[in-house]
Amino acid sequence: MKPRIYHVISVEKTEAPSGMEEGDWHRYTIGQGTSKIDGIRSGSLKDVTQHAEAFAKELNERAINGGSTYAPRKKA
């Protein structure tokens, strides 16, 4: 069975989270099928987009290599 591929759905400017310094903040959504992962990060649109793309790539590599996308490591 071929794993579903995670991809960046959106990256958009947002307000700083409560208690954080003002500046450039972006909310991103990564998804595959009905699964969605939302994140928020400071930085330029380009930097946050690159972060989200790298995160999606890592999730895909875990899925392809038989690891869980929900756990950072396989048990020995």
Task: With beta carbons less than 8 A apart as the criterion, state whether 48 and 28 touch.
Answer: yes
- Is residue 73 situated within a structural domain? no
Residue 26 lies in a domain: yes
Is residue 28 a part of any domain in this protein?
A: yes
Q: How many domains does the chain have?
A: 1
- Which among 30, 22, 25 is positioned nearest to 44, based on CA atoms? 25
pLDDT in the model for residue 76: 52
pLDDT, residue 68, reads: 59
Domain boundaries, position 12 = 7-62
Residue pair 58/21 in contact (Cβ under 8 Å)? The answer is no
Q: Is residue 72 a part of any domain in this protein? A: no
Sequence-distant (≥ 6) Cβ neighbours of residue 40 within 8 angstroms: 14, 17, 25, 26, 27, 28
Most distant CA pair in the chain, distance: 45
pLDDT string in tens for the chain (76-residue length)? 566 799 999 999 999 999 998 999 999 999 998 999 999 999 999 999 999 999 999 999 987 877 655 555 555 5
Domain assignment present for residue 36? The answer is: yes
- Residue 1 forms part of a structural domain: no
Residue 76 included in any domain: no
| pLDDT at 63 (0 to 100) | 79
